[in-house]
Structure 1
C-alpha cells in the first residue's frame, strides 16, 4: 500500500501535468508536453526524507505550501504565493487604506529593502528613506525571510509598537521604534510654489489618482490673473501602484500617441496603451522629479513624458522596476502574484533593472543660505532720489518653505522660470 504522502505526491504530479499542459496552450511558443520526471522523483524523495527524519512532525499541506512558496520566491523579487490574509491585504493596499507602517518594500540579496516610504505615515514621519535596508524586525533578522512574511510582521493592530533595525549607507545600523496605524494614503497633493508655478505631488498610483490630479490642475489654474506658467510633477519616492492610474495620469499631459506597452510570453500579455486626447494642461512647461524611490507606475509616467518630449525629467536615476505582476486567484482563496510581462516606454526602452535616467541629474541636497554681508546701496545714502514708482506690495515670502529645504525642487522651479524667460524672448523676435 502506498503511504499517505506518496498518494499526495501522486496527486501533485497529476496536477502539475495538468497545469503544464494548460500553461503551454496559452504560451506563444507551443512546446511538447514534457514532465521533468527525474526532478519529480527527487522532489518525492526529499519530501519523504523530511517527513521521516525532520526533528518535528510536519504535515503534507505545510510541506506542499512551502514548496509552492519556494517556486514563486525564487523566480524574482515580485512573484509570490499569497495566502488568504496576504491576498486580502494586497487588495486593501491598492484601494488606498490598510493597516501598517506605510513602507513599500522589496528584497535585495535576501535582505528587506525600502523602495519608498508613503507620505504622512509612521515610516515617513520616522525618517525612513528609500534604499534603507531593514535588517531586523523586532530583533529578528530579515535575511532569508520571505517578502510576504516580512510584510506580515510589519502589519498589525493600529497603536501597537514595532522596532525596525535600519542599515543605511555611511552610517552604523540603528533602531527605529514606530507605532502601527491605519494607512490612509492620500495619493495627490498640490500647492502653489510661486505666482504662476505649481507643484503636484503623487505619492502612489491608486484607482482615483488621475481624477485627483485633474482636480488639482483645475484648482492651480483657476485664477485667470495667475494662470500656470509651469508645473513640477513630483514622483520622488513613489513606489508605483495601478498601471491604469499611471496611464490615465500620463493621458492628462499628452494629446496622442503610445504611453506604454508590455511584452511577455502569453498572448494576452502584449498590450499597447495609448493617449485619447483628454489633455488638461496644454503646453505649459513641465518638470518631472524622480529619484531612486520612484518605481513601476511612476517610471511609466516619467518615461512616457520623456519620450514624448512633453517634460524634462530631473533628479536621480529611478528604481528600475519594469515588470508586470498579474494576480491569479486560486480556488482555495489563495492567489499567485506572478510576473508575466515587462514594461516598455513609447520608444522601446525597457525600464527593468535600468530605470529612467533623468535629462538633468540633480542629487539630493539641502540649501544653506550664506549669511549676508553688510552692504550699502543707493537707497541707504542720505538725500538719495526716490523712485517715482509706487512701492511694491509683493510678498516675497510666497515661496513655500519646502523649496528652501529641497534642492531638487528648487532647481526644478528655477528651470521652469528659465524656460519661460526663453519662451518670452522667442515671442519678442
Structure 2
C-alpha cells in the first residue's frame, strides 16, 4: 500500500513525562463534602505523619479500604525510605544474620529494631549476594515478616536520627522530606496501582528544560533482576543494540540488583552531552556494554499526540494513531482525533480517494482521562453501553453512546502489549458492540480508574487513588487479563499471523465507492481470508523495500492493513 501523510493544522507535541502524564484512566476529584467521615486514627505517629494523611483520604475512596494496613505496604515503605539514603539497605534480621559475614557494613541502632536491620555501606557485589538462590531467600524472609505501622515508625525514627545526627563523619545528601516522601511512595504503591505525584510550581515550569530522560521500561523479577519489558519498533533505543528481555546489570558501573525501580529510574536522567552506560546481560551468558546519550526529543510522526495517514490499496484505509488521551492547553486528544478525521476525509475527497475503512491505532497508548476515552468511544460507537464504573457503595455508573459518532466506516482497533487502561476499554467495547475488529497482540490488562486529589496538608503532593475497575459492556473486567485480539499479528519480522478457525463479521457498515451501505454480513471464512492475504497482500513487498532503504518497517501495521484489506474485499455486499 502507498500512503499519504497529513496532520491537523494545529497539533500538539506529545512527550511522556512521569510527573505529568497519567498512565491510567482518571475521574474528576471527588467532592469532599459528599464523602463519608474518615475513621479516627487511634495512635499519633511522629515519623510517618504523611502516611497518616494518606490513609485518611484513601479510606474514603480507595477500592479496598480495609486493606490499608497491609504489612507489605509498610515493608515497602521501610525499604523505599531506607534506600533513599545512599549506600543504605534494609534487610530482615534473619536474612542478615545468615549472611552478615558476607554483607559486612555498619548496623544502625540494632537495639531499636526487632525484626529488621539497616545496613550502612553493605557489600552486595559479592558473588554470593548476587545469586538467584540468595535473592529468593531474601524474598522468603520478607514474606515471613509480620510488619506493622509501629515497626515502620521505628525504622523511620532510625533514619531520622541518621539524617540529623551530629557526627563529624556524617555524610547525608538527602533531606528528611525526601525520605518521608519515599516512604509514602512505597506505602501507596501496594494499593492496586495507586501512586503519589510531586508537582512543580509555576516558576519551575517556565524554566528551560535542562534535564532529559531515557524512557526504558523495566520490570523486576522475584530474584530482583531488572528486565527490559518492551520496545516499540520506532524506539530510538534499538539503534544502540538494546532488545526486549535484556537484563540490566549495572548503570554507570553501579550494580542495581538490590535497588528498587523507583531508585533506578532517576539514574536515566541527565544533561545534553552526557550519557548513561549500561552493562547488559542477554540469553543467560552474553554480556556487553551499551552507552546511550541524552538527546532532546523532537516531535515526529510517532510522538505527536494524534496523527493520520491514508493508505492506498484495493481498499483505501485511514490510520488514526493516538498516543494518549490527554488534555492540552488548547486542544484535547479527542479534539485532535476529530480534526484528524475531518482533515483526512477532506483531503481524500479532494484527491478522489474513497475511504473504505479506519484503523484506530492505540498501540503504546496507556490511557488517560476517562471523559476523553468515553468521548472517543462515542465518536465510533453510536449507541449501546460503553462502560460501567462502581465506586464504593454508590450505584453503578453506566455510560452509553449518545448518537454523536463521526463515522460509520468499518473499523479496526490495533493494540499491543503496551496498550493499557482506557485504550483497552475502547478495543473491548468496539468488539462487544459489534462495531469492529481488534488486531495486534494482547494488551496490558490495566483496567482501573483513578481519582486525583491533592494530599491534605501537602500542597506539592497529588494522591492518585484507584477507585474502581472498568467494566466492559458484558459486565466483565479486563484488569489483570488484558484484551485478546481477534487476529494476532506480531510486531516482529517473519512471524506468521494467527487466524481463528472462524469468527462472525463485526462490520455491519460497508463503504462502497465512498458511500455507506447497511448490509447483512456472513461470518468470515478464516481460511479464505488467509489465502487472500497471501495472494494479494502487499506487506511483504513494502517491508522489503523499506528494509533496503535502511528503514525499520512497522510489521504489525503493514500486516494489519493487508488483513483489513482482505476483510473488506471478501464481504458480501
TM-score scaled to structure 2, two decimals?
0.54
Matched, 1:236 2:363: yes
Q: Which moved more, 1:170-179 or 1:324-333?
A: 170-179
> In the alignment, is the contact (CA less than 8 A) between 2:45 and 2:153 conserved in 1?
no
Task: For residue 357 of structure 1, report the CA deviation from its aligned partner.
Answer: 0.7
* Cross-structure match for 1:312: 437
> In the alignment, is the contact (CA less than 8 A) between 1:80 and 1:148 conserved in 2?
no
Please list, as runs of the form range in 1=range in 2, the aligned pairs for 1:168-187 lying within 5 A after superposition.
172=286, 174-183=288-297, 184=299, 185-187=303-305
Query: Which runs of no fewer than 5 residues in structure 1 stay unpaired?
Result: 1-7, 93-97, 369-395
Matched, 1:293 2:418: yes
Q: Which moved more, 1:148-157 or 1:60-69?
A: 60-69
Aligned with 1:246: secondary structure?
Answer: helix
Task: Choose from 78, 81, 100 the match for 2:213.
Answer: 100
Output one character per residue of 1:379-415: Cα deviation in whole Å (capped at 9) or x when no partner. Answer: xxxxxxxxxxxxxxxxx99999469744433432233
Q: 1:265 to 1:114 in 2, by over 3 A?
A: farther
Partners of 2:236 and 2:491 lie apart in 1 by 22
Please list, as runs of the form range in 1=range in 2, the aligned pairs for 1:4-403 lying within 5 A after superposition.
10-11=45-46, 24=59, 39-48=148-157, 61=177, 64-76=180-192, 78-84=193-199, 99-103=212-216, 109=222, 122-123=236-237, 126=240, 134-165=248-279, 172=286, 174-183=288-297, 184=299, 185-195=303-313, 196-207=316-327, 208-222=332-346, 223-224=348-349, 225-265=352-392, 267=394, 271-282=397-408, 284-330=409-455, 331-366=458-493, 401=542
Q: 1:61 to 1:218 in 2, by over 3 A?
A: closer
Identify the structure with bigger relative contact order (alpha carbons < 8 Å, sequence gap 6+). Answer: 2
Query: Which runs of no fewer than 5 residues in structure 2 stay unpaired?
Result: 1-42, 72-146, 496-536, 546-552
Output one character per residue of 1:269-307: Cα deviation in whole Å (capped at 9) or x when no partner. Answer: x6444333321221x222222221222232122122122
Q: Which moved more, 1:12-21 or 1:225-234?
A: 12-21
Task: For residue 191 of structure 1, report the CA deviation from its aligned partner.
Answer: 1.5
Partners of 1:25 and 1:189 lie apart in 2 by 40
Q: 1:80 to 1:141 in 2, by over 3 A?
A: farther
Partners of 2:375 and 2:325 lie apart in 1 by 10
> In the alignment, is the contact (CA less than 8 A) between 2:448 and 2:469 conserved in 1?
yes
* Cross-structure match for 2:85: none
Aligned with 2:304: secondary structure?
Answer: coil
Output one character per residue of 1:229-277: Cα deviation in whole Å (capped at 9) or x when no partner. Answer: 1222222233333333333322221112333333344759x64443333
Partners of 2:243 and 2:226 lie apart in 1 by 13
**Number of residue pairs aligned between Structure 1 and Structure 2:** 378
TM-score scaled to structure 1, two decimals?
0.70
Q: 1:399 to 1:148 in 2, by over 3 A?
A: same
> In the alignment, is the contact (CA less than 8 A) between 2:62 and 2:466 conserved in 1?
no
> In the alignment, is the contact (CA less than 8 A) between 1:217 and 1:281 conserved in 2?
no
> In the alignment, is the contact (CA less than 8 A) between 1:166 and 1:174 conserved in 2?
yes
> In the alignment, is the contact (CA less than 8 A) between 1:73 and 1:146 conserved in 2?
no
What is the root-mean-square deviation in Å for CA atoms of aligned residues? 4.4
Q: 1:198 to 1:17 in 2, by over 3 A?
A: closer
Q: 1:151 to 1:275 in 2, by over 3 A?
A: farther
> In the alignment, is the contact (CA less than 8 A) between 1:102 and 1:118 conserved in 2?
no
> In the alignment, is the contact (CA less than 8 A) between 2:454 and 2:463 conserved in 1?
yes
Task: For residue 144 of structure 1, report the CA deviation from its aligned partner.
Answer: 4.7
Partners of 1:159 and 1:21 lie apart in 2 by 45
Partners of 2:64 and 2:317 lie apart in 1 by 52
Task: For residue 186 of structure 1, report the CA deviation from its aligned partner.
Answer: 0.7
